[in-house]
Amino acid sequence: MEVKSQFHVLAVDDSLIDRKLIERLLKTSSYQVTTVDSGSKALEFLGFREEDEQSSSDYPSISPSSQRVVEVNLIITDYCMPGMTGYDLLKKIKESSSLRNIPVVIMSSENVPSRVSRCLEEGAEEFFLKPVKLSDMSRLRPHMKRTKLIPQKPEPEKDEKQEEELEPENKHQIQQQSNSNYHPQTQSNTSNNKRKAAVEEAISPDITTRRPRYSGGVTTAV
């Protein structure tokens, strides 16, 4: 029997009532849910550390205890929270090399167009107006499926072997071009040799037909 994959959602809200509501809606929609009451706790759960993001990407210093064990497929967060706002949390996630692919949805009880635009421009997938409804939950699944089923492909590396195979071919083409450049010189050398032979035979190089020689009244064609 095939087991259906269950998506895991991290819900962030400083209001206990709103956290309970979003948790119930997510569970009703068959999502696995983890709730936290602040942006800093959300980052802690995700295994985010400020010093790791500032360190060299070639030599990350992430300790095993800081890495998240449970996969998070989507984050839904309130916009207005003390300390770290939902917008600040969104920026942290999108600036992180290890977290930026996680979809983020923002919730707010205030419908402010500039706020909505700013969040969407920063990378939020959706902006829900509170109170969140059960019908809103169905809009989450496409974002999670896209991230889960279509992982980001690494950039193709240069094929050194292919480059090495192309080098001899390029050299051969250059050699052919080089040889073709010498054709006029070869023709010139041939012409010079003919002229030299003509001089040695006491015949002018500018004359194309040889003059007959006379020897004792006998005409000899040379």
Hey, what domains does the chain have and what are their CATH numbers?
8-53+64-149 (3.40.50.2300)
Q: Any residues with CB less than 8 A from the CB of 102 and at least 6 apart, and which?
A: 46, 72, 73, 74, 75, 93, 147
Per-residue pLDDT of 136-147, as tens digits, reads 999 999 999 987
Residue 43 burial by Cβ neighbours in a 10 Å radius (0-12, 13-18, 19+): buried
Per-residue pLDDT of 158-215, as tens digits, reads 555 555 555 555 556 656 665 555 555 555 565 566 666 554 554 444 444 455 554 4
Per-residue pLDDT of 25-75, as tens digits, reads 999 999 999 999 999 999 999 998 765 555 544 434 333 344 555 799 999
